[in-house]
Structure 1
């Protein structure tokens, strides 16, 4: 079930993650499973992104709860904060623990052995189809959200809870190059935080739960 219906999606997902250097593992076609990345530069970038995501969420939270924002701005900012906070918490793996990839590898190994001849039963399951559709929607969303955020900030650069809204008299600043640089940085933050966090949420949590439910049906 996982290898037949879910695996093609994370393989597609991991291509973007590789470009962003936002996860400490990769899929090995030869081994047919996920393996840790050994490249020191990639691991350093991943750890740096973990720290930046945490600091970014902390700055957002401080701006919302301690800044001089109106109630409307606080409610608006809380939506963005929750999205980034979920991603930052989900992707945190500074110690490079292999636990998350072991979950996926266990499914792949199990389906290549004891369940090999029974997978056709769950492949047609409605639960699998619904979850697969939901994960594709998640993939589309995490690709589009940072772009829409960038467009929003270009037209409303002082939107809370983003960085420029933390600067006093934000609306009076006219350095357009500085503003665009900040907006691009925040879009990059959105991409690596959401892509990394979605890896665990979609394929370890949601995919794992669906896999267990389908295995119970078969067995």
Structure 2
């Protein structure tokens, strides 16, 4: 069931995941299945991104809890923190059909790409939005309002870093939640139904 129904959906996004180096898997065309990556460099990059994810989420949580944010800023930051931490934890009933599940997987994959894009747009419009990196600076509002080209360039580079972080966090976490957890449970339940 996984190979016939869901592996084709995963193969569509695997080139993107391979470029980001956010998961230690690749598609073996001979056996038509996912196998572990043999490249040490690729595995080191995955480990480095896991470490960055931990540092990024910890810093975000510290900023939300102990930073000088307003209550609205803390609530807004907590929303983003939950998205990164839970990464699209989806609940489905056990009797969902395969077509409905394929639609859910497709929507989840598109959402994984859309959230970093909209986050980048939000940070371009409001660079001091909590809980992101620039909001941690006490003089963020004054710096960004000054309009200095060097500050604008640094701000843009920080936004690119935030985009990259959210893209690989959501991609790696989305793969784990969607294809391993969610579809794994559905496949096991369908196999049990067949055995009964």
TM-score with structure 2 setting the length: 0.89
Which residue of 1 is the match for residue 104 of structure 2?
A: 134
**2:37 maps to 1:37:** yes
- Alignment partner for residue 216 of structure 1, among 185, 192, 195? 192
In the alignment of these two chains, the number of paired residues is 182
Query: Which 5+ residue runs of structure 1 have no aligned equivalent?
Result: 88-124
Structure 1 residue 28 displacement after superposition: 0.2
CA deviation after TM superposition for structure 1 residue 86, in Å: 2.5
Secondary structure of residue in 2 paired with 1:158: coil
| C-alpha contact (below 8 Å) 1:159/1:165 kept by paired residues | yes
Correspondent of 1:187 among 131, 143, 163? 163
Instruction: Please list every run of 5 or more consecutive structure 2 residues that lacks an aligned counterpart in the other structure.
Output: 88-94
Distance (whole Å) between structure 2 residues aligned to residue 84 and residue 126 of structure 1? 26
TM-score for both structures, normalised by structure 1: 0.80
Residues 131 and 210 of structure 1 are in contact (CA less than 8 Å); yes or no, is this contact kept in structure 2?
no
Q: Kindly state the Cα deviation for residue 27 of structure 1 after the two structures are TM-superposed.
A: 1.0
SS in 1 for 2:97: helix
Secondary structure of the residue aligned to 2:105 is helix
Which has the higher relative contact order, 1 or 2, with Cα contacts under 8 A spaced 6 or more apart?
1
For the 8 Å contact 1:127–1:210, the answer to whether it is kept is: no
How far residue 13 of structure 1 moved from its aligned partner, in angstroms, is 2.2
Give 1:216 deviation, angstroms.
Answer: 2.2
1:20 equivalent in structure 2: 20
RMSD, matched Cα: 1.2
Cross-structure match for 1:54: 54
> Residues 135-150 of structure 1: matches in 2 within 5 Å?
135-150=105-120
Structure 1 residue 126: deviation in Å? 5.1
